[in-house]
């Protein structure tokens, strides 16, 4: 092998070694990486095999050093702050809010009085119909605690390797959704949202429920092992939140690890307050409108809330309000100064089914 090729290969190996030492890794993992580097040294005698093995090793090192092995965000454990954030994002739902405030209170006392004892967060399962605020409540929990959010959608999920990753023996292997999410958020104590766990594909239901049993067990998730990473990662400081429309398709072993919180349907009165106080101001801002350019009279709110009859959530209401604001923006750009929506013209602004 020519001398310049030998130097190039040596420089490539040294680059990987330097990258692996740029972050503090668990000692056992460092030992494993040393073994990988030794294998690279052995393969360096054959250029054909070396660069193939080098590429897969470099990809692995990139994932390893990108993970937050020792990094976590500082929690905000102020119940007044928590109450303000929850009220800012959600109308009503007092029982749900109270449960979250209780958790923050316990965590605050634990960290103050027993800082050396690890605290196991409860695992919430928000159960409710479409549009009742399950996913947004998980986002609010992350906001309240000053934590990052990882959302993993389970709707139609048919392959457990999506969660657990694929062995590095496969050329196109990569980590599962959990490890990818941790690398992206950069902290080891995020809020992990397992969204719509009841909508897993039928043929993968049992295997995915098996993964959830391990993931949601406090005794096991401290050493969660992704097939690609092939090394335990501590998920015990993460706050898991799951959502579903109903619990009939969720395995009993999984339910046993969850604290079920019912998300009630909204009444028309609650939707009226949500529409006026939360959705409309937000939609006006997102549409680029100024205050006063759009006025909705009281008499047409029932049409906006119930265009087709009862709806448990607020998604239809949100879409209707956003549609009103978009149409208003178009009219403002065409030269009109103010739009007033009343009984005489409301049908022009609402979707026609």
The CATH number of the domain holding residue 173 is 3.40.50.300
Q: Are residues 149 and 173 in the same domain?
A: yes
Whether residues 58 and 201 share a domain: the answer is no
77-115: pLDDT as tens digits:
999 999 999 998 888 889 999 999 999 999 999 888 988
Q: Are residues 195 and 317 in the same domain?
A: no
Question: In the Cβ-directed half-sphere of 90, how many Cα atoms lie within 13 Å?
Answer: 29
- The radius of gyration of the chain from alpha carbons, rounded to an integer in Å, stands at 26
Same domain? 220 vs 286: no
Query: 235 and 328 share a domain?
Result: no
Question: What DSSP designation does 60 have?
Answer: H
- On whether both 253 and 185 belong to a single domain, the answer is yes
Among 227, 262, 297, give the residue marking a domain's end.
262
DSSP per-residue codes, 224-282 = EE-TTT-SEE--TTSEEEEEES-STTS-HHHHTT-EEEE-PPPPHHHHHHHIIIIIHHH
- Statement to judge: residues 192 and 95 lie in one domain: yes
Does pTM top 0.75 for this prediction?
A: yes
Domain shared by 198 and 299, yes or no: no
Tokens of 189: 């104590």
Q: Rounded to whole angstroms, how far apart are CA atoms 212 and 207?
A: 9
Whether residue 22 lies inside any domain: the answer is yes
88 and 45 fall within a common domain: no
Structural domain for 318, as ranges: 268-349
Residue 73 included in any domain: no
Q: How many CB atoms lie within 10 A of CB 283?
A: 22
**Strands 339-341 and 294-296: what pairing?**
parallel
pLDDT 10s digits, 307-345: 655 666 788 888 889 999 999 999 999 999 899 999 888
Same domain, 337 and 318: yes
The tens digit of pLDDT for each residue in 121-150 reads: 789 999 998 888 899 999 999 999 999 999
Boundary (domain end) residue, out of 198, 233, 262: 262
The verdict on 130 and 200 lying in the same domain is yes
With cut-offs at 50, 70 and 90, classify the pLDDT of residue 229. Answer: very high
Domains: count for the chain: 3
**Which of 262, 284, 315 is the C-terminal boundary of a domain?**
262
Q: Note whether 102 and 181 are same-domain residues.
A: yes
CATH of the domain at 302: 1.10.8.60
> Pick from 53, 45, 68: which is nearest to 16 by CA?
53
Phi and psi torsions of 294, nearest 5°: -130, 125
């Amino acid at each position: 092998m020519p001398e310049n090729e030998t130097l190039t290969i040596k420089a490539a190996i040294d680059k990987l070694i330097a990258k692996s030492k740029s972050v503090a890794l668990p000692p056992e993992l460092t030992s494993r990486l040393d073994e990988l580097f030794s294998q690279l040294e052995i393969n360096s005698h054959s250029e054909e095999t070396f660069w193939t093995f080098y590429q897969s090793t470099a990809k692995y090192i990139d994932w390893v050093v990108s993970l937050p092995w020792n990094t976590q965000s500082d929690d905000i454990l102020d119940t007044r702050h928590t109450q303000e954030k929850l009220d800012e994002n959600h109308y009503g739902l007092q029982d749900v809010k109270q449960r979250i405030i209780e958790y923050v209170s316990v965590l605050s006392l634990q960290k103050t009085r027993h800082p050396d004892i690890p605290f196991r967060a409860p695992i919430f399962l928000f159960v409710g119909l479409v549009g009742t605020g399950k996913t947004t409540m998980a986002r609010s929990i992350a906001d309240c605690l000053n934590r990052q959010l990882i959302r993993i959608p389970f709707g139609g999920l048919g392959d457990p390797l999506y969660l657990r990753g694929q062995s590095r023996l496969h050329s196109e292997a990569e980590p599962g959704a959990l490890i990818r999410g941790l690398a992206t958020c950069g902290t080891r104590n995020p809020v992990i949202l397992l969204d719509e766990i009841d909508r897993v594909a039928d043929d993968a239901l049992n295997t995915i429920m098996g993964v959830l049993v391990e993931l949601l067990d406090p005794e096991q998730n401290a050493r969660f092992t992704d097939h690609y990473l092939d090394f335990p990662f501590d998920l015990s400081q993460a706050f898991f939140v799951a959502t579903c429309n109903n619990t009939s398709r969720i395995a009993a072993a999984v339910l046993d690890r969850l604290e079920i919180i019912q998300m009630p349907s909204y009444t028309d009165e609650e939707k009226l307050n949500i529409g006026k106080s939360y959705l409309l101001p937000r939609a006006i801002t997102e549409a680029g409108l100024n205050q006063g350019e759009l006025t909705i009279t009281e008499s047409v709110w029932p049409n906006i809330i119930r265009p087709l009859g009862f709806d448990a959530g607020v998604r239809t209401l949100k879409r209707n309000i956003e549609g009103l604001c978009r149409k208003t923006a178009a009219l403002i750009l065409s030269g009109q100064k103010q739009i007033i929506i009343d009984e005489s013209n409301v049908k022009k602004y609402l979707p026609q089914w």
